[in-house]
Chains A and B, each alone.
Chain A
């Protein structure tokens, strides 16, 4: 499908767009998602390459989770197309997308409460066709990496919120996905756990050559993690570019704060530009 012309207001300053190999792309083209007549996502086009981390940010209700739902098959799209490795997946059921290498986490974990933490993670590998032995090996490795080994036999309800988040990310990573969609992975995590999460995402990106899309209300966390950032507002693509470009994008700031703050450096300057930067650059 031909790419839709972007909104005139949209500016793109980001990494040089090389000739993309479709086999290494997860791409949304003019994707629209409609709920009961309301366009939750409107003609959004963006892509993520394998080995790249793309942050998806925007104020509450911007359509971030809806877009991830559409990509993972959790919500149907009404227009546009989604391709994975060059193949159209828009109309594939979620499990077929998972088998093609798309894994995701959920904002509220959606762990299986009747299964143990270990079983939750193992399921992620078994479901995409790993042998029982391989699933166990991968699960053991991830339990070790995430420090969950001693809690492996417990059901998620007995774990802290942070540990549940770890299990949720591990369940997605264990499948060895080509593309990983992380919906609020840092929500509720203590600051000291963010580095560990960052390391896990980094390992997935580099070690497994996976493309990662990450949504989080902790904008600093997203900007810090991402190679490129896509900003949504009211279901539309507002801006796309490098983290430092997005930090200074006036429309992005306006979308977050209602208007461009008079002291920009105090509200959304990149780390290093001012001490107040990281503390305020969060979604309201």
Chain B
């Protein structure tokens, strides 16, 4: 594979992590709560695709969206609402616990062996062969992320709902005094998180057609690192941070010798540690921004 191939793959994985990061960033923006349970919504979506493997693909994907959005809303009511007013650190710990609990639930319900999902497997075929080795799914990844992130941008900056969301993100209590219906804004945020989780679930299961219990947590931890790297308190920077971590992760996976691939995650985290030591406020934060992140 050539450098172009490595870069395109890195952009593709970066796009996937950007989609996860934007969900974490969105919940933090609206509620100042850290949504680590988002990974398990993705895992739930991926398992639902396995459960619906006999259905037509389009129907399975539509239902996967419905299931992820419903799962996200259930978490909002059952986990995030009772935690209103709690510190971000408390929500981090609680949602980490919820993630582990759900991971154990997947183990009980689906068993320890991965579940094969052969949906849309043709997307793994190459578009351009040879040294570049560009696959269809890589293009779909980038396209889906661009579409979703572009749509989110348009929602936030070109609609009245987005204006209300930005106001809530900046100052929750003043937005309420002005009359913004907070519960609606929070619900929309979690619907968007659910939709984003469904997109990631579909794309991830196409690329890695084996759903395992650790799928959610492994994705969310890396994405969270990216969010912290970019800046938790700014949706754009958090998303970009997710992209950067995914990009670096993929690039390391491409250039390291096969016997050293086990170090990919460690090296990614090392990269983040170095960045945070050199620029404690984050790689993307403007100068003069405080260093408190959680």
Contacts and interface: CB of A to CB of B under 8 A. Distances in A.
Nearest to A122: B163
A35 interface: no
24 contacts: A72-B177, A73-B176, A74-B173, A74-B177, A94-B176, A95-B176, A95-B181, A98-B176, A99-B179, A99-B181, A103-B178, A106-B174, A112-B170, A112-B174, A113-B170, A114-B169, A115-B166, A115-B167, A119-B163, A123-B164, A126-B160, A127-B164, A127-B175, A171-B178
A129 B48 CA distance: 38
Given A72-B177, A175-B178, 4 more contacts: A73-B177, A94-B177, A112-B171, A113-B170
A110 B126 CA distance: 54
Nearest to A131: B160
Contacts of A74: 173, 177
B179 A95 contact: yes
B179 A98 contact: yes
A114 B170 contact: yes
Interface string A93-128: 111001100011010001011110001001110111
A112 B173 CA distance: 11
The 9 closest A-B pairs by CB, nearest first: A98-B179, A127-B179, A94-B176, A128-B179, A127-B180, A110-B174, A94-B177, A126-B160, A95-B176
Nearest to A172: B178
Nearest to B159: A132
Contacts of B180: 95, 123, 127
Nearest to A110: B174
B176 A112 contact: no
Using C-beta atoms within 8 Å of the partner chain, give the interface range for chain A.
Answer: 20 to 34
A280 to B, nearest CB: 34
Contacts of B160: 122, 126, 132, 135
Contacts of B181: 95, 99, 127
Interface of B: 160, 163-164, 166-167, 169-171, 173-182
A98 B178 contact: yes
Nearest to B161: A126
Interface string A195-210: 0000000000000000
A99 B178 CA distance: 9
A104 B174 CA distance: 10
B283 to A, nearest CB: 21
Contacts of B169: 114
A110 B171 contact: yes
A72 B174 CA distance: 11
B182 A123 contact: no
Contacts of A103: 178-179
Interface string A76-108: 000000000000000001110011000110100
A267 to B, nearest CB: 36
A115 B179 CA distance: 16
Nearest to A181: B177
Nearest to A98: B179
Contacts of B167: 112, 115, 123, 127
A175 B179 contact: yes
A112 B167 CA distance: 6
A81 B181 CA distance: 23
B284 to A, nearest CB: 16
Contacts of B182: 95
Contacts of B173: 74, 94
Interface in A110-161: 110, 112-115, 119, 122-124, 126-128, 132, 135
Contact of A127 (B166, B170, B171, B178): B178
A123 B175 CA distance: 9
A27 to B, nearest CB: 20
A112 B166 contact: yes
B264 to A, nearest CB: 37
Nearest to B177: A94
Contacts of B164: 123, 126-127
